[in-house]
Structure 1
Amino acid sequence: MQQAVAASAIRKVYLRLLPIAVITYFLCYVDRINVGFAALTMRGDLGLSATDFGFAAGTFYWGYFLFEVPSNIIMEKVGARLWIARIMITWGLLAGATAFAAGPHSFAMIRFLLGLAEAGFFPGLVLYFTYWFPHDHHARIMSGFLIGLPIAVAAGAPLSTALLGLDGVFGLHGWQVMYLLEAVPTILMGLVVLLILADRPEQAKFLTPAERDWLTRTIAAERQAKETAQAMSLWQAMIDPRVLLLSLNYLGIVTASLGMLLFMPQIVRSLGVSGTMAVGWLTMVPYLCATAALLGWGWLSDRANERRWHLFWACVLSTAGLVMAGMTMGTWWALVGMSIAACGFYGSKGPFWAMPPMFLTGPAAAAAIAWINSIGNLGGFFGPWYVGFAKDATGSFAGGLYGLAIFGIVSAVICAFWLNIRDNAETAPAAPAVGAAE
């Protein structure tokens, strides 16, 4: 009886939360990656060098860095439904405002404000899943949620390049039309989140009383076990060596990933591809591969109940792909190398984000998860800036990709030697029987 209730509860939670999470993350990344496609024409219209573009696009991550932790702490207090809706509506408005950038300074300022607005969205959802899923589902739910990322890149590529072709509509450049039209669904989805999400399992009207009781008790038992093993305050969590090592590991992954992502349309064009639509379709290829890797790696990590070495081999794979792409730059083998790198980047996501909840709960988890993500996402500034600088200095993207590969190596080394993190939930008592007394 208890097993049937548990299976039913988990299935309903997946069906309720996962589609909303995937759609919101899809929209999040469409609003991020469209800047890479806008650069195909925007750079010329605004007079931006590759270095100018990489620097201005990367200022987004400084805004993200500054407001990540406060945002997640606020969400822990006011609830996910209200806060995630606020994030989506404000980021949608600012994403649309990018259409009115007039030069490098206004472009950089809008990107910075967009980072402030979006800060807390990703770590907020990571934290939100810990309220709803037992620990043995964490890699799978993270991989399922994060599938919105490669899908956004794959689907957003032809979408964004098609919108770039609307040059002259409303008297605007194609990239301006793209920014305005792609912002609308984000604002509308923010309103949907406000109407549909529930903050905690005990508020879930889509579960039966027995299912709510089982899920609430199971999550509470795991949280108690973690706090019994090691209770941490908010500030203790942020300076915990495991949190800092996870942050450094993630900084390497994100630097390499976003350095490649934001310049991929320009790298594909450098292979001799003509036409923005052709660039868009070819940019899909690495991220279709990444979608399969993301789901498969997360499933394997949960099935083996192992995180560290799954993360390590994903870092190694991404490094190998970047080196291959750099060595074969100018040929179609570079696209193969970037596809391999993308598999490593996104294969790492499930096992990586399953690690913080292994020893963090409550406000400590809210602060530490946001802290990890904010430090890691500084790579979104350094990666594009470095690739743009290397391109201007050498005339080729190869040097930039080699530099990104070094960050992949660093992440792999950190994982191999220092990320031996114990899962405190393994000491949790068995889930109480449905209807058991308090």
Structure 2
Amino acid sequence: MSEVVVPDAERRAVGKFLRRMLPILVLMLLVNQMDRTNVGFVQDELRADVGVSATAYGLGAGLFFIGYALFEVPSNMLLERFGARVWLTRIMITWGAVIVAMCFIHNVWMFYALRFLLGVAEAGFFPGVLLYFTQWLPDSSRGRASAIFLGGSATAYIVTGPITGALLELHGVGGFAGWRWMFALEGLLSIVVGFVAGFFLVSRIEDAKWLTRQEKDALGAAVARDEEARSRAPKVSRLRLLLHRQVALLTAVFFAMALTGYAITFWLPSLVEEIGGLSSFEVGLLSAIPWICAVIAMYTVSHFTDGTPDRRPYLAVALVLSAIGTFLATLGSPWFGLAAITLAAVGGKCAATLYWPMAQSGLDLKIAAPGLAVVNSIGNLGGFVSPTLFGYLKDTTGSTNGGLYTLSAASVLAVCGVAFIKLPRTAAAPAPETAPTRA
């Protein structure tokens, strides 16, 4: 068993970064997820006050991902130029301003424009933070930081419902509708957190006043070694990557997963409201149940499958659960539908937990970084397709069942795609263990 020896100075520096930087980054991600999905709780209000039909709502919800995909790469380039402190702060303040502007929506076209602008404003935040990690942490510590950071995303799904539901209860205060209060206050929160982040974030190791000279040198040397190793990898164009069999399969599977994940995110409150007799706060609380169960299942599955050389069978089972859940949601009472959607959410979150480690190990090292970027950017367009399709089918059929059938079929097709994904020969056997580093 080989052992990686981490110098004390480097270990201390990594620990200080995790304690000082990660809390604000996790808070930023939590607010980020809340702001991009809060529109799911005001579908009925937008229809009544602004005339946004189900089709228009689905299209507007999805337009976010078009703006996000178009500006993701330019945003990351600007982050490298201006530094994380300036650029991540700019991103957050800008998207907060757009959210505040959404409280003034008065027609469908304004709804479309602001959802698109929200995607433009948020573009580059998530990959920007991951890029920030590469500038501060060696490979051996980056996985731990990413896992903690992603925990903020999981938590956001749980707290968004109750917080948004409580804000909607302000309906009538000062003569304003509850949904206008919700957008205004959540947008202002984003702006405040953005300014706070500007005081805490540090772009470069050399600028960290809380690191000693020895810690700066040790951490900088570790990061430089990783950068040198990555720089030797040959560059591959995105066009060629699109034609790469493995990248195409991974993209197709992730696209199908995104269809289900974002459809549940944007339409869950509407499905819960079908129970009837619930206040906005109660809808928010019930909407958190699927995500609470999903997060528990996600961490349980990750615990039992970490180190597994082949995650494909487990991923297939998770996708089958997602397919069964979305299909069962078309049957029975709204309460039964909530239970079924909970099963779908559990399957979807567990699938995501299993998918990304498999995707990382399933690509040759020479194309891993650009390949995963292609998978993420194209696959996330499922966030545009699913709410748009859901809204259209609801307007044309009067029910969400057609959309749920489509999601169920997409999950089944994703299982077929998983069966054809090949893992490298080295993945067939467990990798040598390395001694974990401690913060």
Gaps of 5+ in 2: none
Residue 419 of structure 2, aligned match among 412, 416, 424 = 416
Q: Does 1:272 align with 2:272?
A: no
Asked if 1:95 corresponds to 2:99, the answer is yes
Q: What per-residue deviation string (whole Å, max 9, x for no partner) do you get for residues 397-425 of structure 1?
A: 2321121122223333333322526899x
Q: In structure 2, what is the equivalent of residue 34 of structure 1? A: 38
C-alpha separation in 1, matches of 2:140 and 2:59: 40
| CA distance in 2 between partners of 1:209 and 1:294 (Å) | 40
- Asked if 1:379 is matched to 2:379, the reply is no
> Which amino acid counterpart does residue 271 of structure 1 have in structure 2?
I
Report 1:355-370 matches (<5 A): 365=369, 370=373
Structure-2 separation of matches of 1:127 and 1:347: 25
CA 1:303/1:364 → structure 2, altered by over 3 Å: closer, same or farther? closer
> How many Å separate the matches in 1 of 2:320 and 2:352?
14
Structure 1: how far apart are the matches of 2:145 and 2:190?
22
Task: Read off the aligned partner of 1:261 and give its amino acid letter.
Answer: T
| Residue of structure 1 equivalent to 2:146 | 142
Alignment deviations for residues 234-266 of structure 1 (CA, whole Å, 9 cap, x no partner) = 657854735444433322221111111111011
- The one of 399, 403, 407 equivalent to 2:406 is 403
The match for 1:110 among 114, 118, 136 is 114
Q: Which runs of 5+ in 1 are unaligned?
A: 432-438
- Confirm or deny: 8 A CA contact 2:250 2:421 kept in the other structure: no
Q: Between 102-111 and 8-17, report the one with greater CA deviation.
A: 8-17
Secondary structure (helix, strand or coil) at the match of 2:276 reads coil
Contact 1:26 1:151 in 2 (8 A): yes
| Residues 273-282 or 405-414, more deviating | 405-414
Counterpart position of 2:346? 343
**What RMSD, in angstroms, separates the aligned Cα atoms of the two structures?**
3.4
Which residue of the partner structure matches residue 131 of structure 1? 135
Matched, 1:315 2:325: no
Task: Give the secondary structure class of the aligned counterpart of 2:329.
Answer: helix
CA contact under 8 A between 2:75 and 2:123: conserved in structure 1? yes
| TM-score for the superposition, normalised by structure 1 | 0.84
Partner of 1:436: none
* Partners of 1:8 and 1:71 in 2: CA distance: 31
**Pair 1:188–1:310, CA change in 2 (3 A):** farther
**Residue 63 (str. 1) matches residue 57 (str. 2):** no
Kept after mapping to 1: 8 A contact 2:168/2:281: no
**What amino acid does structure 1 have at the position aligned with 2:414?**
S
For 1:122 and 1:98, locate their aligned partners in 2 and report how far apart those are by CA, in whole Å: 22
Q: Is this contact kept in 2: 1:81–1:198, CA < 8 A? A: yes
Residues in 2 aligned to 1:119 and 1:325: alpha-carbon distance in whole angstroms:
33
- The structure 2 residue matched to 1:11, chosen from 15, 20, 34, is 15
Tell me: CA distance 1:2–1:11, structure 2 relative to 1, closer, same or farther (3 Å).
Answer: same
**1:267, CA displacement in angstroms?**
0.4
- Distance of 2:307 and 2:216 partners within structure 1: 25
1:257 aligned partner: 261
Percent sequence identity over aligned pairs? 37
Matched, 1:286 2:290: yes
Looking at structure 2, the residues matched to 83 and 289 of structure 1 have their Cα atoms a distance apart, in angstroms, of 35
Aligned to 1:164: 168
Count of residues in correspondence between the two structures: 426
Confirm or deny that 1:47 pairs with 2:51: yes
Q: Tell me if structure 1 keeps the 8 A contact 2:14–2:141.
A: no
Report the residue type matching 2:383 in the other structure. G
Measured in 2, the distance between the counterparts of 1:354 and 1:205 equals: 35
TM-score by length of 2: 0.84
